[in-house]
Structure 1
Amino acid sequence: MRTELVSEPGDPGRPNEDFASVGLPASGQGGSLVVLDGVTPPGDGGGCLHSVPWYTARLGGALTELTVSLPDVPLAELLSRALTRTAGSHSATCDLSHPRTPQATVALARWSPASVEYLVLSDSALLVESPGGAVTALVDDRLSLLPRAALTSESLVDATLRNREGGFFTAAADPSVASRAVTGSLPRGEVRALAALTDGAARWVERFHRGGWADCLTLVRKEGPQALVDRVRTLERADADRVPPRRGKIHDDATVVYVEL
Structure 2
Amino acid sequence: MDERKKRVLITGAGGQLGSELKDIWESDESFDVIFVNRETLPLDELDLLYKRVLSHKADYIIHAAAYTAVDKAESEPQQADLINHLASIEIAKAAKDGNAKLIFISTDYVFQGDSANPLSEDSTTNPINVYGQSKLAAELGIQTILPQAIIIRTSWVYSIYGKNFVKTMIQLMKTKDEIQVVADQEGSPTYALDLAEAIKNIIVSELWVGGIYHYSNEGKTTWYNFAEEIKRLANLNCQINPVSTSEFPTAAKRPAFSLLSKEKIKHTFKLAIPDWQKSLKEMLFKLENHT
Report the TM range for the smaller structure's normalisation: 0.3 to 0.5
TM-score (norm 2): 0.30
TM-score (norm 1): 0.33
Greater RCO, CA 8 A, separation 6+: 1
**Richer in helix (by share):** 2
**Richer in strand (by share):** 1
